[in-house]
Amino acid sequence: MGRFGLSTKLLLTYVPLFIVAIAGSYILTTNASEEQMLEQAKVAAFQKAHIVREALVNQMLENEMVDDSFLDKIRTSGGLQDLYIRIRADNLKLKEWLEDSLRDVRLEKREQAALAKGTIGTEVFQTGIPIWVRREHDFEAIIPFKAEKKCQTCHEVEVSHVLGVAHIQLPLAEINAAIRENSARTAMISIGFAVIALGIGFVFYRSFIQKPIETLVSATEAIGQGNLTSPMKISVSGDELGQLSRSFDRMRKALLQSQQALRTSAVGQIAGSLIRDFRSPMREIVAAVDQIQKSDLPPDQKAQLCESARNAVTAMNKMTTDLLDFTTGELKINKRSCNVGQIINYAVSAVKLDLERDEIRLETSLGYSGNAMIDYDRMARAMINIVGYSAN
């Protein structure tokens, strides 16, 4: 990701996080809704079972029997998928005055009808604990009918003895579909808000983060190229980027002041060096004028002296130009292909008169007579200075 910008990296980081967050929200919302639905289904099943149990108890107390037509009517009433009662004839322990062959046949028929639906829930007769069965499209509550004190009128049992078990099946297909639809709607709303949040965040990022950073990058590049005079756009915000921007500009100004101080010092040093360099061409000019004033010199020697004086003035003019260029920071090296022997001969001719006047002999021996890429004027000046300093 090194080639991507900071905004792209943030986008590649936060978009997957938003997707994970929305997916997690969808899953958690769906699971929470399903758990809530199951709790409501349990409450509804208990209420249905309580109503049925009270109705059966009242029928036994009033009619000494349970009406089969009543059981058929309540099987699918109130939105139920199915409701049936599982019994065990030997577990009812009816009192003797209620026992007869017709009742036995009817109870056997009910017991067989319940067994035909499966054996799930038979353990509730022993445990007395409700069982909840969650399936893909329905929910089954298996709730025990425990004997109360009034049940002892018809049954030889103790209180809390399980007389029967109610199997109540509630349809869940429509509820599950509604839950998923609500979860999907919530996820879409979350996506919408996430997109809006990303858009607003991108605008704020561009205004308050990216632009100040780009300003700092531009200023850094300018300073890296040695440009300290260009003013920097300062952020007026009071955050960390604003403080960094102001600190960076203070650093730029401090560097500029240091650079100017160094340049002033260097200009002084260069000026002092050039003043010393001026001595050689000035002596050359003075010597040439003194020789020209002698009337007994041949014309060709006078012409040579005039040429030497002219060259000395030209050299002084170039040194003055170098000093001016250095003060403005525009000093440039003018490299070109120059003959090495020509430079040496020029330097020797420039110091020859001074050396002869001081009775100093200068001998040259060229080990290389070809060309080289050098700055002719500055190289010649350096050689003249070296010879002059050596003579002094």
Would you list the DSSP string of 277-337? Answer: HHHHHHHHHHHHHHHHT-TTS-HHHHHHHHHHHHHHHHHHHHHHHHHHHHHTT------EE
Domain boundary among 301, 328, 355: 328
The answer on 148 and 34 residing in a single domain is: yes
Closest listed residue to residue 331, CA positions, set 274, 384, 288: 274
**Does residue 166 carry a pLDDT above 70?**
yes
- pLDDT, one tens digit per residue, over 359-384 is 888 888 888 888 999 988 888 878 88
Q: Name the amino acid, one letter, at 101.
A: S
Domain boundary among 285, 311, 328: 328
Distance spanning both ends of the chain, measured CA to CA: 66
In a domain, 192, yes or no: no
**Top-confidence range, 224-228, 242-246, 364-368:** 364-368
Mean pLDDT, rounded, for 45-52:
85
DSSP code for 206: I
The answer on 236 and 111 residing in a single domain is: no
The answer on 164 and 22 residing in a single domain is: yes
How far is Cα 84 from Cα 234, in angstroms, rounded to an integer? 82
In a domain, 202, yes or no: no
The answer on 125 and 45 residing in a single domain is: yes
Across 135-144, 150-159, 280-289, least confident range = 280-289
- Domain count along the chain: 3
Q: Name the amino acid, one letter, at 250.
A: R
The answer on 246 and 286 residing in a single domain is: yes
In a domain, 88, yes or no: yes
In a domain, 195, yes or no: no
The answer on 378 and 275 residing in a single domain is: no
In a domain, 218, yes or no: no
Contacts with 170 (C-beta within 8 Å, 6 or more apart), sequence order = 41, 44, 45, 79, 80, 81, 138, 139, 140, 141
Q: Which pLDDT score is estimated for 42?
A: 83
The answer on 248 and 158 residing in a single domain is: no
The answer on 324 and 275 residing in a single domain is: yes
Q: Which pLDDT score is estimated for 212?
A: 73
Residue owning tokens 């101080």: 261
The answer on 67 and 162 residing in a single domain is: yes
In a domain, 217, yes or no: no
Q: What is the dihedral of CA 29, 32, 33, 35, to 10 degrees?
A: 160
Residue 1 — pLDDT band, cuts 50, 70, 90?
A: very low
The answer on 294 and 364 residing in a single domain is: no
In a domain, 199, yes or no: no
Closest listed residue to residue 106, CA positions, set 87, 128, 78, 120: 87
The answer on 160 and 29 residing in a single domain is: yes
Q: What CATH code is carried by the domain that includes residue 75? A: 3.30.450
How far is Cα 160 from Cα 149, in angstroms, rounded to an integer? 9
How far is Cα 20 from Cα 14, in angstroms, rounded to an integer? 10
DSSP H or E run through 237: none
In a domain, 33, yes or no: yes
Measured CA angle at 287 (ends 282, 290), to 5 deg: 125
Structure tokens at 170: 């509630």
Q: pTM for this one?
A: 0.47
Per the structure, the complete domain to which residue 247 belongs is given by: 228-328
The answer on 390 and 248 residing in a single domain is: no
How far is Cα 59 from Cα 178, in angstroms, rounded to an integer? 39
